[in-house]
Amino acid sequence: MVTFTGLGDGLEHVAVQFGPIADVPLVRLHSECLTGDVFGSARCDCGPQLTESMQLLAASGGVLLYLRQEGRGIGLYNKLDAYRLQDQGLDTFAANRELNFSDDLRDYRSAAQMLQALGVTRIRLHTNNPDKAAQLASYGIEVVEQVRTGIFRNENNDHYLRAKAEYGGHSIELVEGTA
């Protein structure tokens, strides 16, 4: 485990290396989600995605970057305020906008800096989020493949996943009647 501080965003981040780093390692950029990762909230898919990634990385090797970007960058308190708005019927992106935030404040420059510090410039990225790949490429990291994460859909996160696909451009195929 390697900790990073003093990067452009001023936050503390962690890289977890699973085995020796390959020439083109599998990499997961995972934004912190206290409610999903720690408390098992079913209103998002963060916890199951983290578990899936860690299992895949443990089996095949690679790097997990755990990024301190709670609530797509709005922070924990604001995310909890956004949850209250979601409980009133807004989707996750509309709730951010209602709180005067953009849809997604995350910047992956620090992730690129972390990878470069580890000697990694070409990766297989474990994500459904095309913005992660685009931003990493703009910061000098070549994404040679995007490996999709699973779809962890339930009755509590269906609206959230639909919003991620519609407004966030995530590669999520939701089949009707499966939530």
Residues designated as active site = 104, 106
Phi, psi of 121 (to 5 degrees): -125, -10
Phi, psi of 34 (to 5 degrees): -55, -45
Task: Go through the chain and tell me how many residues it has.
Answer: 179
Q: What SS3 state is found at 146?
A: strand
Q: Do the Cβ atoms of 53 and 154 come closer than 8 Å?
A: no
Q: Do the Cβ atoms of 65 and 111 come closer than 8 Å?
A: yes
Structure tokens at 119: 């000697």
Rounded to whole angstroms, the Cα distance separating 3 from 66 reads 10
